């Protein structure tokens, strides 16, 4: 196993971690660009699967997803390198901010900056959703699954795990009953 490749994996995910604001879902556009398009370490379908599984597991979705990508690429050490890479910038930044937060957290400029960042994150997530939509919703049956999960997630407090399991079962049933690959 090449140390240079592990370093590349660490640095790629450190860059993603450093430039992602708003949580794991906000990193999806960067994952698409860096991991899928540029590095070709995973396909968009694999990223979608990693996100779904990562959401069901304890911990941060960004760390879980990075770990899956790294593990696929270079086994456990690759998963560790990518997971460490994605959290390293946050650890450094949070440590620095924590040392000084009391002095500037209530400043109007800081509050307004964070409000602007939140709006930007919403746009980035919407952009990622549209890209995923094109790959995931391929026919009327998958649209029905999407709408059912959306309604259930919006109007109930059920665990996301239940929705993922139900969608998986629905996908298998649709394939078996319809004779088509999903």
Give the number of residues written for the chain.
182
Question: Is residue 139 left, alpha or beta, with left meaning phi > 0 and alpha meaning psi from -120 to 50?
Answer: beta
Residues 6+ apart with CB under 8 A from 24: 51, 54, 60, 61, 62, 64, 65
- Which residue from 21, 117, 30 is spatially nearest to 65, judged by alpha carbons? 30
Among 51, 90, 56, CA closest to 67 = 51
Rounded Cα gap, residues 37 and 180, in angstroms: 28
What's the maximum distance between 2 C-alpha atoms anywhere in the chain?
63
pLDDT at position 69 is 95
DSSP 106: T
pLDDT for the residue numbered 182:
47
Q: CA Rg, the chain, in Å?
A: 19
From 93, 122, 109, 116, select the one nearest 23 (Cα to Cα): 122
> How do the domains of the chain map onto residue ranges?
3-105
Rounded CA separation 100/59 (Å): 27
pLDDT one digit per residue (tens) for the chain, 182 residues: 578 999 999 999 999 988 877 777 778 888 889 999 999 999 988 988 898 888 878 888 889 999 999 999 999 999 999 999 999 998 998 888 888 777 777 788 888 888 888 888 888 888 888 888 888 898 999 999 999 999 999 999 999 889 988 998 998 998 888 765 54
- pLDDT (0 to 100) of residue 179: 63
pLDDT of residue 62: 86
Instruction: State CA 122 to chain mean position distance.
Output: 14
């Amino acid at each position: 196993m090449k140390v240079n490749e592990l370093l590349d994996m660490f640095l790629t995910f450190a860059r993603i971690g450093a430039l992602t604001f708003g949580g794991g879902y906000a990193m999806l556009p960067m994952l698409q660009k860096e991991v899928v398009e540029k590095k070709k370490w995973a396909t968009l379908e694999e990223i979608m699967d990693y996100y779904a599984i990562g959401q069901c597991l304890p911990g941060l979705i960004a760390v879980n997803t990075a770990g899956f990508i790294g593990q696929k690429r270079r086994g456990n050490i690759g998963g560790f390198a990518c997971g460490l890479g994605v959290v390293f910038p946050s650890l450094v930044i949070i440590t620095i901010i924590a040392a000084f937060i009391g002095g500037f957290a209530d400043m109007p400029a800081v509050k307004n900056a964070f409000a602007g960042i939140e709006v930007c994150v919403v746009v980035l997530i919407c952009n990622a959703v549209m890209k995923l939509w094109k790959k995931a919703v391929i026919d009327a049956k998958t649209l029905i699954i999407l709408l059912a999960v959306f309604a259930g997630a919006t109007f109930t407090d059920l665990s996301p795990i239940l929705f993922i399991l139900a969608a998986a079962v629905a996908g298998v049933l649709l394939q078996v009953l319809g004779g088509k690959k999903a």
